[in-house]
Amino acid sequence: MAKAVVIYGPPGSGKGTQANLLAWTKNFIHFDTGKFIEEAIHNPEKASNPQVQEARKQFDSGVLVTPSFVLKITTEKTKEIGESGFNVAFSGSPRTMFEAFGDDKNEGLVAVLEKVYGKDNVNFVFLRIDPQVAIKRNANRKVCSLCATAILYNDSTHHHTECPLCGAKLRTRAVDNPEVLQTRIKEYEERTKPIIAELTSRGYKINEIDGTPSPYVVFDSLKKAITNNE
C-alpha cells in the first residue's frame, strides 16, 4: 500500500533534503509545495493575474501565501498522485490550520490524505533544529537556476558557482535573505507549528527527529520512524 509522509520543521531544518532522499531512494514523489508555488507565481504567462501577483508579493516577502490559493493546488495534485498509486512526501506542507484541516466548505489536506492513502499510511515527521542554525544554513544556501537542486553549505561547496549536477548557474533565493528568513520563522511559529498539536489531538503520532546532523544521519532516523509506523 502506498504511503504519505509529511515532514515538518522550521525553515532550514532540511525538510526538502529529506523529502528528496525519499524520492531518490524509496520511490516517493516529492511534493515541494514551496517550489511548486514559486514556479507558478513567477510564470510569465500568469504575470497579469491579480491572484498570482498577490501570491508572488507574499511569497517573496516571506509571508505565507493565501491558504485558499495553496489548498486548491495541493489537494488537486495530491489526489492525482495518490490515485495513481504513488508514495508522496511533503516538505513543510500543509502550512496553516486551514490548509491542514479546512473549514465547513473546504476539505483540508489531512482529510484528503486519509481518504486517498488511509490514516494508518499517513506519517508525520518533525525535524527539530535550533533557529540560529537554520538561519545560517539558509543564508548560505544556493539553488540551481535550472534543476532547482539545493547545494548544502560546507567548506567544499561554499565557493561553487555552478550546479554539480547539470552545470547551470547557482543562485540565492529571495526568501533566503536573512531578514526574510526571520519573517519565515515567525510565520512558521505562529501559523504552522500549531498544526502539530492538533494532529496529536486527532490521534496521529508525530515522529520527532534531530535535524542538526548530516542529512544521511537524519535520513536514517526518518526511515526507521516511518518503518516503525507500519
pLDDT in tens, 122-149: 999 999 999 888 888 877 788 888 887 8
pLDDT of residue 229: 66
**Which CATH fold would you assign to the domain 4-130+192-228?**
Rossmann fold (3.40.50)
pTM for this predicted structure: 0.81
- Alpha-carbon distance 13 to 133, whole Å? 8
**Structural contact between residues 58 and 187, judged by C-beta atoms closer than 8 angstroms:** no
Top pLDDT among 34 and 204 is at 204
Q: What is the mean pLDDT of the chain?
A: 88
pLDDT in tens, 173-217: 777 777 788 888 888 999 999 999 999 999 999 999 999 999 999
- Alpha-carbon distance 102 to 199, whole Å? 13
Q: Where are the domains of the chain?
A: 4-130+192-228
Residue among 192, 31, 191 nearest 116 (CA): 31
Residues ≥6 apart with Cβ < 8 Å to 60? 174, 175, 180
Going by pLDDT thresholds of 50, 70 and 90, the confidence category of residue 38 is confident
Could you write out the DSSP letters of every residue in 32-91?
-HHHHHHHHHT-GGGTT-HHHHHHHHHHHHTPPP-HHHHHHHHHHHHHHHHHTT-EEEEE
Three cell numbers, residue 144: 540551481
Three cell numbers, residue 68: 485558499
- Alpha-carbon distance 181 to 196, whole Å? 21
